[in-house]
Amino acid sequence: GAAAWYFNLGGGALMIGFIGGLVTAMIGIFSKTVKPAVYLAYAVCQGLVLGIISNTYELFYPGIVQQAIVATTAAFVGMLFMYKSGRLRATPKFTRMLMGAAIGYLLLALGSLIGSFFGLGNGMGLYGLSGFGPLLAVAGVLLATFFLVLDFDQIEKMIASGAPQEQSWRAGFALMVTVIWLYLEVLRLISILRRD
């Protein structure tokens, strides 16, 4: 990520990182065995993507990356505290509601993306400035934040069941995916708020 930022890599490197990250994420998620090399490749690809995206946002909104890092860290620590104190638990109902909300959010994002290719929505899509843009950005941040609870719960269950040490790779990978998603959502929300 630091190298991608420092060398100011362009769109080609962004696409390589994005496609590589998507492929390695799918392999990592659906693999029945632990694959440390895939998880490391995912981290490298996402570092590339985050470095380029963060640098671009920073050009338009100076100081935004620091704000996003602080907000992401605060959300992570806050959710960890809420989870460890027992205030938030990944109950079956909580998990079902969160998964339903995530599917709805994903469908809305996909619809907005497709609509933008056809000029639909007149700038009011998921990434738009007006109307629903800020509300959907807040929803994205909340969803990603609450997904941390599922990650913490999964890690705790793995430890309690005496899972083999190598499973820590899988747990770390899942946590990394959620933190990256959260950071990107926070970055987008701050950029929308700073535009207005």
pLDDT tens per residue across span 86-114: 999 999 999 999 999 999 888 887 777 67
What would the pLDDT profile of 35-77 be if each residue is shown by its tens digit?
999 999 999 999 999 999 999 999 999 999 999 999 999 999 9
Across 7-28, average pLDDT: 93
Q: 150 is written with which tokens? A: 């599922």
Q: pLDDT at residue 154 above 90?
A: yes
pLDDT score at 107: 85
What would the pLDDT profile of 114-145 be if each residue is shown by its tens digit?
766 666 554 444 444 445 678 888 989 999 99
Q: CB-side exposure of 161: number of CA atoms within 13 Å?
A: 10
pTM of the predicted protein model: 0.87
pLDDT score at 116: 63
pLDDT score at 132: 66
3-state secondary structure 141-187: HHHHHHHHHHHHHHHHHHHHCCCCCCHHHHHHHHHHHHHHHHHHHHH
